[in-house]
C-alpha cells in the first residue's frame, strides 16, 4: 500500500506539498501536476510577501535642506511619487480642473495634464518634493518645452496631496497690476499681498518684462517675501542658458540656488 507524508516546500514557507512514498521508504517520482501547483503556490506566496512590504513608511522628520542631496519627503509625498499614484493621477476630476483654472492656471495646460509625458514629466516628478516643501525654481528654455504644463502639473499634484494649488500669473500681469495701482492711487502693497502669501506661486513669461530697475525691485521684493515665508515659487521664461543672470539678477538667483535651482529644459519641443 502506498503511503504519503507531508513536508514544507522550501520554495514557499507555509505551503505544503504531498509526495508519494514507496512502502520500502524510497520516494516515488513526483506528479508533474503537483510540481506545477507547488510552483504556483510558491510564486503567489512571494507576491503576497512583497505586497505586504510596499506600504508607506513612517512619516519623516523635519525635511533636510533642499540644497543638500535630496529632501526627505513626507509620507504623503512618498505616496504621490509611488507607482500606484502615478497611475491614479492619470484621471483628472472636474473639481481639479475648476480649482486650477479659477486660480489662474491656463486652461490649455490644465487640460493637457492627463496626457503629459516625456522628459518634462520625468523632470517634474523628480522635482515634486521641492514643490511640496519650500523650493524656489527657475525653468528656462525655448518655447514648446512644456514649462507651463510642468508648473500646472505641480499645482495638480498639490491638490492631490490635499494642499492648495496656489496661483499662476504672467510677468505682464504682475507689472500691469502694479502700474495700475500707481496710476489709480491704489495700495500696491495690498495688491501684492495675495501673491506674497499664496501657498504656491508660478510666474510665467519672464522674457516679456523690460528689466527696468522698478520691475527688478518689485520682483525682488515679491520673491524675497516668499523666500522668508518658505513658500514654494516657480519662475518660467523662454530664455537661453546663461541669460538668467541678466533677466533675474543676483538676489533671486542666489535664493533659487539655495532652495531649488535653475533648470534648463533642453529637450525637444512638444509642438513638433
- Residue 187: C-alpha distances to residues 22, 181, 190, 215 (Å): 97, 6, 5, 17
What single DSSP character describes residue 18?
A: E
Give the chain's domains with CATH numbers.
Answer: 3-50 (no CATH), 75-264 (3.40.50.300)
Q: Residue 95: which H helix or E strand, with range?
A: helix 94-102
Say whether pLDDT at 150 is over 50. Answer: yes
29 pLDDT tier (thresholds 50, 70, 90) = very low
Looking at residue 213, what is its pLDDT? 86
Cβ atoms of 239 and 264 within 8 Å: the answer is: no
Mean pLDDT of the chain: 75
Kindly report the number of other CB atoms within 10 A of residue 240's CB atom: 13
Distance CA 215, CA 30 (A): 83
Q: Residue 5: which H helix or E strand, with range?
A: strand 3-8
Looking at residue 157, what is its pLDDT? 95
**pLDDT tens column, 208-224:** 887 788 888 999 999 99
Say whether pLDDT at 43 is over 80. Answer: no
Looking at residue 90, what is its pLDDT? 53
Strands (E) across 81-182 are located at: 136-140, 167-170
Tell me the average pLDDT across 165-192. 92
Query: Which is it for strands 3-8 and 167-170: parallel, antiparallel or unpaired?
Result: unpaired
Three-class SS state of 140: strand
Amino acid at each position: 500500500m502506498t503511503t504519503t507524508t507531508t513536508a514544507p516546500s522550501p520554495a514557499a514557507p507555509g505551503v505544503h506539498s504531498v509526495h508519494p512514498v514507496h512502502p520500502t521508504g524510497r520516494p516515488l517520482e513526483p506528479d508533474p501536476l503537483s510540481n506545477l501547483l507547488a510552483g504556483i503556490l510558491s510564486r503567489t506566496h512571494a507576491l503576497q510577501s512583497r505586497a505586504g512590504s510596499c506600504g508607506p513608511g513612517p512619516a519623516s522628520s523635519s525635511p533636510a535642506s533642499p540644497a543638500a542631496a535630496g529632501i526627505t519627503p513626507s509620507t504623503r509625498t512618498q505616496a504621490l511619487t509611488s507607482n500606484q499614484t502615478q497611475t491614479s493621477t492619470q484621471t483628472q476630476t472636474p473639481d481639479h480642473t475648476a480649482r486650477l483654472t479659477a486660480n489662474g492656471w491656463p486652461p490649455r495646460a490644465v487640460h493637457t495634464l492627463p496626457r503629459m509625458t516625456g522628459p518634462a514629466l520625468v523632470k517634474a516628478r523628480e522635482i515634486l518634493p521641492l514643490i511640496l516643501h519650500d523650493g524656489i525654481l527657475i525653468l528656462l528654455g525655448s518655447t514648446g518645452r512644456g514649462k507651463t504644463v510642468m508648473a500646472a502639473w505641480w499645482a495638480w499634484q498639490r491638490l492631490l496631496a490635499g494642499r492648495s494649488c496656489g496661483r499662476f500669473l504672467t510677468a505682464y500681469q504682475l507689472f500691469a497690476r502694479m502700474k495700475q495701482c500707481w496710476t489709480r492711487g491704489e495700495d500696491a502693497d495690498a495688491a501684492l499681498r495675495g501673491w506674497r502669501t499664496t501657498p504656491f506661486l508660478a510666474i510665467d513669461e519672464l522674457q516679456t518684462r523690460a528689466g527696468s530697475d522698478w520691475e527688478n525691485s518689485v520682483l525682488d521684493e515679491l520673491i524675497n517675501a516668499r523666500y522668508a515665508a518658505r513658500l514654494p515659487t516657480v519662475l518660467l521664461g523662454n530664455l537661453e542658458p546663461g541669460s538668467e543672470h541678466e533677466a533675474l539678477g543676483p538676489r533671486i538667483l542666489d535664493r533659487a540656488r539655495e532652495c531649488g535651482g535653475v533648470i534648463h529644459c533642453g529637450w525637444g519641443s512638444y509642438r513638433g
